[in-house]
Amino acid sequence: MNATDYFSGFLLGLSLIFAIGSQNAFVLKQGLKREHIFFICLFCAVSDALLISAGVAGFGAVTTRYPQVVHLAKLAGVTFLLGYGLLSLYASITASHALTTNGQVVTSLKKALLLCFGFTWLNPHVYLDTLVLVGMVSTGASSKLIFTGGAVSASFFFFFALGYGARLLTPLFAKPKAWNILDAMVGILMWYLAWHLYQS
């Protein structure tokens, strides 16, 4: 096993998803609510794995040749972020919920996965990072397979650590006010990301 290629892929993959974005904020919130954590983390990690594999395989050349694909994803992403941001801001004003640990599920698995799909696949930065950037960097690896394995394992590590590590904040979110603040922060973050995406 080429350790250099593996850790190069791992560190690159980790650096690209470490910043708090819309997808990470959603995973964090699901982790705090303890709703479908495993499936949400698995969906995000597998999605990353597919995109990274496609990027290393050369799909980045397709997005470079047909930039309209990225443009369409950008418009869809802005619309999605604005809509979810509005819902979060509305919830910060009207909702009154404390964190419960009695196993009650508020959001259905289907709805949670659909939201996760939007945050993941309607984000053009995901395509730029995985298909283009990872694909370009992988050309310098002596073993693309090992490099890909490193980048993919970084996604699995990060998302599961974020989802299950969120429960450490449970005492804080036992208070309804903390949820209102979180909803407001998520809403503002979504709108900021939508504006930033529109300007990019």
The string of pLDDT tens digits covering residues 88-125 is: 898 888 866 555 544 444 678 999 999 999 999 988 77
Closest by Cα among 190, 187, 183 to 95 = 183
Please, are residues 151 and 10 in contact by the beta-carbon 8 Å criterion? Answer: yes
Residue 38: predicted pLDDT: 97
| DSSP per-residue codes, 129-152 | IIIIIIHHHHTT-S-HHHHHHHHH
pLDDT (tens digit per residue) in 21-54: 788 889 988 998 889 999 999 999 999 999 999 8
| DSSP per-residue codes, 37-79 | HHHHHHHHHHHHHHHHHHIIIIIHHHHHH-THHHHHHHHHHHH
Residue 103: predicted pLDDT: 44
Residue 65: predicted pLDDT: 75
Rounded Cα distance, 165 and 69, in Å: 35
Rounded Cα distance, 69 and 12, in Å: 24
Rounded Cα distance, 78 and 194, in Å: 5
Residue 109 vs residue 169, higher pLDDT: 109
